[in-house]
Amino acid sequence: MKQMVALATTLGRSALLVVAIGILVFFFLRIVPGDVVDVFSVEGDLTAAQADMMRKELGLDAPLPAQFAAWVGDLLAGEFGTSVRYQRPVGDLIVGAIPTTLVVGLGSFVFGVTLAITLAIGAALWPKSVFAVMVNVVNVWSIALPTFCVGLVGIIVFSIWLGWMPVLGNIWLPIIVIGMDIAGQLVKTLHEELKEATSSAHVRTARAKGVHPIRLIVFHLLPTAAPLALALSGIVLSGLVGGTLTMEVLFGLPGIGSLTLNGILGRDYPLIQATLLLLALAVVVLNGLTDLLHTLIDPRPAQ
């Protein structure tokens, strides 16, 4: 019963958070001077009369409460509106951009978590090996090197100097850059936890009996690392979303990040509102799933 109440409370809090973000996005966009009509006017595509007519057609001359009510009504009807810049339904644009964002985000997450667990386990089992050195290297990498700067250096080195990868559209380098950052955030804490695990009685007994290292890792160390890795992963998810969007823009990938930037540059309210609301929802859902998985996997009883 307590778990059901806690779950309901978490879901309610998450829903209110998404609603609050949507409201803030809507009104903050309109606080900033200028709209899509002004952008078209500056580009020389509209006369003053045409600008007034377009603003009226888009409902931008209506009071803010009326605009907000219209937007909420569209959302409740499952509509995100039409992009003024692209002249296409916003929902279609988002559906077309999501696969790229999912590939970069999930690929980076899997690579980063796998690398962190591998290095942490290796360093715990063989303290004087290269694994222990790499734990510190990856950790310092994450602290000292911003992903945007690393991505920019990667473009210069691998695309311009060496010519191994295209400047735009390269998906593997962003996955590696973000994954390294995620691994650096996780690996040190995982290593400390697993060092304690390797000194526990059942692990010492298993090693004394000559249990194969792979069996030792699978049946003794991974069950210890999994709950902590999930708990730590929830912390890095927000950074993962931000890093993914940044890498999309930097590498010219047609994902949600590039779509959002184009919407911002074009002051495309329907597109900006939809993408930012979607990103907020994604962060809330991912954190909620992480908490749920952590509760299911963690073998320790709830206090």
- 172 vs 3, higher pLDDT: 172
Binned at pLDDT 50, 70 and 90, residue 95 comes out as: very high
* Per-residue model confidence (pLDDT) at position 303: 42
* Per-residue model confidence (pLDDT) at position 302: 43
- pLDDT tens by residue, 38-92: 888 877 767 788 888 888 888 888 888 999 999 999 888 888 888 988 889 999 9
The pTM of this model reads: 0.81
Q: Which two tokens stand for residue 182?
A: 């995620």
Q: Choose the weakest-confidence range: 152-161, 188-197, 218-227, 246-255.
A: 218-227
| Residues ≥6 apart with Cβ < 8 Å to 181 | 112, 141, 142, 145, 147, 150, 239, 243
Please determine, for residue 294, whether its predicted confidence score (pLDDT) is greater than 70.
no
* Per-residue model confidence (pLDDT) at position 110: 92
Q: Of 3-12, 147-156, 221-230, which has the strongest mean pLDDT?
A: 147-156
Q: Are 216 and 125 in contact (CB under 8 A)?
A: yes
* Per-residue model confidence (pLDDT) at position 301: 46
* Per-residue model confidence (pLDDT) at position 298: 55
- pLDDT tens by residue, 72-87: 998 888 888 889 888 8
- pLDDT tens by residue, 199-252: 776 667 776 777 766 777 767 677 766 777 777 776 787 678 888 888 999 999
Q: Choose the weakest-confidence range: 4-13, 184-193, 206-215, 293-302.
A: 293-302
Please determine, for residue 35, whether its predicted confidence score (pLDDT) is greater than 60.
yes
Q: Are 260 and 83 in contact (CB under 8 A)?
A: no
* Nearest residue to 116 via CA among 39, 202, 180: 180
98-257: CATH topology is MetI-like fold (1.10.3720)
Please determine, for residue 121, whether its predicted confidence score (pLDDT) is greater than 70.
yes
| Residues ≥6 apart with Cβ < 8 Å to 17 | 280, 284
* Per-residue model confidence (pLDDT) at position 15: 81
How many whole angstroms separate alpha carbon 231 and alpha carbon 236?
10
User: How close are the terminal C-alpha atoms of the chain, in Å?
Assistant: 14
- Per cent of the chain over pLDDT 90 is 28
Under DSSP, is residue 47 helix (H, G, I), strand (E, B) or coil?
coil
Give the C-alpha distances (Å, rounded to integers) separating 175 from 110, 125, 235, 260, 261.
9, 28, 18, 20, 20
Q: Choose the weakest-confidence range: 16-25, 135-144, 233-242, 263-272.
A: 233-242
